[in-house]
Structures are given as C-alpha cells and as structure tokens.
Amino acid sequence: MKVDGHSKSTFRPPSWPLALGALGVVFGDIGTSPLYALHTAFSMEHNAITVAPENVYGIISMVLWTITIIVTVKYVLLVTRADNDGEGGILALVALLRRHLTARKWLGTAVTILGMFGAALFYGDAVITPAISVLSAVEGLTVVNPNLERLVVPVAVVILAGLFAVQPFGTGQVARAFGPIMLAWFATMALLGIPQIIAHPEILLSLSPHWALELVVRHPFQAFVLLGAVVLTVTGAEALYADLGHFGARAVRLAWLAVAMPALILVYLGQGALVISTPAAVANPMFYLAPSALQIPLVIFATIATIIASQAVISGAFSVTRQAIRLGLLPRLAVKHTSRREEGQIYLSMVNWGLFLAVMALVLLFSSSAKLANAYGLAVTGTLVLVSLLFLLFAATVWRWSWWKLVAFATVIGSLELLLLGASLTKLFAGGWLPLLIAALVVLVMVTWRTGSDRVASARGELEGPLPQFVASLRDARVRRVPGVAVFPHASADATPLALVKFVTDFHMLHDHVVIVRIVHMNIPHVRPADRVSVDDVGSPADGIVHVSIRVGFTDDQDIPRNLALAVDQSPELHIDLNQALYFLSVLTLRPPRTHRLRDWREKLFLSLEKNQANRTEIFHLPPTRTIVLGTELHL
C-alpha cells in the first residue's frame, strides 16, 4: 500500500542481486570520484595551505563527514523515503508534490520552476561527468610515464566517441556486467587504501569531525575554498535517488552501507596517509597508491569504471528527458526502447548526440580533469540545494514534519550544502559558468515551450469547439455514415478533435464507429494495465461515438493500438475491429506572426521546437498505412 510518499508493505529482506546491480548503475559516478576529488583538493589551486599532517587530517575529515551528512543521512536515510510510487529523482519529486498541492496553484508553479532548474542542472552534470571521469582515468598514464601526457586527450576522445556510438544499440547486455565490475572496483580501492592506513594509522584521527572544524578555525578562507573541491566527493549522490525505481530503496541502501561507503572511506583515508608520508603524491594520490607494477592495470581498470559512470549519467539524461516531456516541459522527442523486457532502457537520438558534441567540446577545451573540476562543483551543489528545498517542502506539506525536524534538516544539511554552493561559486569565472550556461539554455527552452504550448492550446480550443455540441449537431446535419472504425487521438476530454471537425466539414460523412482517444499523463511512474483504460459514450450510444481515456505514467509507453486492445477486452460494449481501424491525427500548422515584435526570437525558437517534434505516428505506435493527417493553419 502507498501512503504519502512511503511504500507501506510487509518487510522483505534486501535482494543482494539488486544491490549488486545498484553498485553498477547507481554508484558508478560517486565510485570514481576518488580519481580526481583529492587530486583537485590537494592541488595548489584549491589548497593554499601546507601539506602538514594536521591539515591533511582536516581535509580528510571534511571529505568523510561531507559524505556522511549528504549521502548517508540526507539521501540514504531520508530522501529515498520520498518516492513517487517507487520512482525517484527531482522530477519524480516534483510530480509527487504537484499531486499534493492541487489546491495551492502558486505553490505548484513554484515547485515546477524549481524542478525545471534541477533538471537543467542535471544536464550540466550529464555533460561534465563523462568528460571529467574519463579524463581523470586516462591521466593515470602520466603517473606511469610523464611523456604520455600528450596521449591523454586523444585516448579520452576515442573512448568517449565509442561510448556514445553504442548507445543506439542499447546497453542491456553490457549493463549486466556493470555490477560485478564496480564491486571489483570498490574492492580494489579498499585494498589500495588499507596498506597505507596500516603503515600510518594516525590518519584514523581524521575520523573525528573536530579536525575539520579546527582547519576551519586555523585557515577559514582556505578551508572555504577547499569545500569547492570537497564537493567532488559527493558527485553522483543524486543518482541514489534518481535510480530508485530500477532497484528499490532497500537494495540501494544495502549497496551503499555494505560496500560503497566503506570502500570510499578506506580509499580516502589511504590517500590521506600517502600524502602525509609522500607529499609528492599530491600530484595524483589515487594512482600513487598502487605499486609501480600495478599502475598500468589500474589505469585500465579505472577507465572501465569511468565508462560505467558515464553510461549511468547518459542513461539518466534519457530518463530525465522523457520525464520532462511527460510533464510538458519539453517537446516530443522520438524514444526508442532498446530492451523488450526493461521499460527504463530507452534511447533518444537528439539527446545522445547533443551530449556527445558537448562532451567532446569540453574535453578539447579544458583538456584536464583539474580544470574541469572548477565547472563540476556548481552542477553538483546546485542540484543538492534544489533537492533539499523540494524535500523540505514535501516533508512539511505531506509528511507534516514538526518544526524542529525541519529546522534540524535545514541547519545541518542545508547549511553545509549552501557552504558547498558558495565555495563552488568562487570558481564561477574559472569554469563554474559552464553548468550555469547549460542550465540557463535548458530552462529557456522549457519556459519557451511551456508558454508557447499554452498559447497554442488556447487558440486551438477556439477552433475545435466543445465536443457535446458537435455530437448534437451531427443529428441534425446531413452527415452520411460509412462502415468502418475511425480513431481520433486527442489531448482534451471536452473539445472536439480538429481532424474530426475537418473530416465532417470537408467530406460530410462519418464512420459508423468513432473512437476519440485521450492520453492522460498521470503524476506517477507506472499505471497497471487493469487501471489504464476507461470507456465512455459521447452523447447517446446510438451516435456510435465513444471516448477512451488511456492513463499512462511518465515511464509508460504511449502505444494507442495496444491500449485500445485493452479497452476492447475490458469493455464488452466496445465492438470494433482494430485491424481495420483508420487513425486520424489532428495537425495545426503554425506560422510566424505577420507583424514583427520584440519577442520574435522566442516565437521562432518555439516554432523550431514544434517543427522538430517527433512524429506522433511513431510516438503512438500507429500503423503508417492506416494513419491520415487533417488540420489547418494558425498564425501566432
């Protein structure tokens, strides 16, 4: 049973196979953070203090407690409980909140705007993660031989090009290996860290948070700047929430608490111990943990791990885009399902190649993980803060948290995230502008699309007219009825499909059986087939016109023929032969305004977006040979 964002059911022990899968998909990003996080923190750009033991204790303490507070407490223990019918992610939280805030429209609008910014920042993350992850892994070559530095960018480009090239074929088969590989990666990191901890057990002092506070007191400005690098240790934390629907909260928590978190603690402690004993290792602490003979295998293994991390964020971009389309924030895009079994395995060509071009540009422009780290922080911290804002609103309005819980969350977690955001803002002109630019462009597209769609819907409503009046007019008009079934997909329950109006007006005839189909997008991820369709007569049964509502969640497929077959099976009064049905799509061809206005550039952007939408014949899985398009023109 589902109650207010919680899944209420009898206890079931966590599934180890699901936890293993979560290691490969959910924790790929955060699992590769040790490749560049401390390397960046110890660099002169972020660390203006000496590499003295007490300073290293402070930095490692900052890292460990940031991971504990943000990942373990916020996401694992709290935010993952706010699921939308098992699904997570910032847009799923937006959909859940909108369902509970129907009486307060202004608050629902504010939630949607926050969701827009959160989704937009995710795209910045999706662009930067593949670039910084693969670059940081390939940079291990310079530890093996400094002369190999010239190969870093070309090798990274080849690897990333191959990764994006295989996306259209699906990753289902390869994904099965992700879990075992990442389990081996986490084990490798732990094994690399343990010898350094044993050799220098004093590094365990950094487990105490007082070392982080002491560093802040002794070097307040430097410690604040350091936070801009410390935030890199929690990159991918949002994946804990975003991929909740794939594995379930129990499996995600088990994978984090039993494997990922212990391994990350050990490797960060090991890197700190190494830096204290060998200050020169600050150049690349992760790869200097390995003996010389194992450095090349470690580079290869790290590259594989970063490919997995990149795959996870690319798949996440596909999922976020589809959720945004379902919520009306983006135009229709063609969605290809790459698996017959897994609904979540999808491919969007425009998103894939857009990400590819952006990632290639970043690799060539920044050419190193240290430079890209400046850009990465804002994408991560911005998302963290937005999720916290939405979660606080959810906890206050849905869970009815008491004031002291809200204050505690805002004080401990919110304050830390705001500090991380502030530290990342210090890198605004050194690359931090990049995710903000990407987010601004995405928000511009979303706002333009939503505003333009509302205007077009209003104008279209005037052309179509009310459905009950149209059906009533058929009884008095001289309209010839012809054998057959005509299906009219239409978004509104009350208005007449434009294609139906044009068909009757131009041809003065109508089929014996008319089915008006409405796709109803629910603010939940999935609707069971038994609850998906409902059939209602329009006017009287003698009119031969019925209205079918197909309810779909934002992870469901919009297959009209398949769902109509469900309606026929579940409704004995609906006697139609779908094998002979004709499908009529309404089209409203938009034209630019006849007069030039100052905001014409936004109208041109909307027209471009509308013109390049995916073909509805493909979206609705209609048979092309039995699909007819009818409509008219509209000047904006």
Q: How many CB atoms sit inside 10 A of residue 349's CB?
A: 14
Joined together, the tokens standing for residue 515 give 């089915």
> What does each C-alpha distance from 218 to 56, 128, 131, 264, 628 come to in angstroms?
13, 33, 35, 27, 74
Instruction: Check residue 241 and give its pLDDT.
Output: 82
454 burial type by CB count under 10 A (0-12 exposed, 13-18 middle, 19+ buried): exposed
CB 133 within 8 Å of CB 29: yes
Q: Which residues does residue 548 pair with via DSSP β-bridges, in sequence order? A: 517, 535
d(CA 517, CA 533): 10
Q: What is the pLDDT of residue 430?
A: 82
Please name every residue paired with 336 in a beta bridge, in sequence order, or none if there are none: 347
Residue 558, classed as helix, strand or coil, is coil
Rg of the chain taking only CA atoms, in angstroms: 27
Round to whole Å and give the CA distance between 24 and 309: 8
Low-confidence ranges of the chain (pLDDT < 70): 1-14, 44-48, 85-86, 103, 171-175, 245-246, 337-345, 476-477, 523-525, 554-555, 573, 591, 593-599, 633-636
Q: State how far the Cα of 364 lies from the Cα of 342, in Å rounded to an integer.
A: 35
Helix (H, G, I), strand (E, B) or coil at 600: helix
Separation CA 191–CA 291 (nearest Å): 12
HSE-up of 125 (CA within 13 Å, CB side)?
32
Predicted local confidence at residue 345, as pLDDT: 64
Q: What per-residue confidence (pLDDT) applies to 594?
A: 57
- Ramachandran class of 403: left when φ > 0, alpha when ψ lies in -120 to 50, beta otherwise: alpha
> Rounded to an integer, what distance in angstroms lies between the CA atom of residue 316 and that of residue 313?
5
Residue 313's H or E segment, with its range, is helix 295-326
Integer Cα distance of 324 and 94 in angstroms: 11
Tokens representing residue 77 in the block: 């223990």
User: How far is it, in rounded angstroms, from Cα 17 to Cα 316?
Assistant: 21
**Closest alpha carbon to 320 in 610, 525, 123, 130:** 123
Neighbouring CB atoms inside 10 A of 562's CB total 14
pLDDT of residue 172: 59
Q: What are the structural domains, with CATH classification, of the chain?
A: 15-331+363-449 (1.20.1740), 465-635 (no CATH)
Helix, strand, coil percentages for the chain (3-state, nearest 5)? 65, 10, 20
Q: Which residue has the tokens 């995916």?
A: 614
Looking at the DSSP bridge assignments, the partners of residue 521 are: 552
Decide: 421 and 379 in contact? Cβ < 8 Å.
no
Cα–Cα distance for residue pair 480/487, rounded to 1 Å: 17
What is the pLDDT, as a whole number, of residue 575? 78
Distance CA 464, CA 288 (A): 70
> Residue length, the chain?
636
Tokens representing 569? 């099976």
The answer to whether 294 and 188 are in contact (CB under 8 A) is: no
> What 3-state DSSP class applies to 581?
coil
Q: What is the pLDDT of residue 598?
A: 43
The separation between the first and the last C-alpha atoms of the chain, rounded to the nearest angstrom, is 47
CB atoms within 10 A of CB 316: 23
pLDDT at residue 175 in the model: 63
Q: How far apart are CA 74 and CA 71, in angstroms?
A: 6
Cβ contacts of 340 within 8 Å, gap of 6 or more? none
Compute the distance between CA of residue 212 and CA of residue 233 in angstroms, rounded to an integer: 15
Closest to 237 measured CA to CA, from 523, 37, 96, 438: 37
Q: Report the alpha-carbon distance of residue 368 to residue 39 in Å, rounded.
A: 12
- With a CB cutoff of 8 Å and minimum separation 6, the contacts of 530 are 570
CB 111 within 8 A of CB 269: no
Task: Please give the C-alpha separations between residue 36 and each of 89, 163, 242, 374, in angstroms, as whole numbers.
Answer: 25, 21, 23, 12
What gap in Å lies between CA 440 and CA 382, rounded to an integer? 13
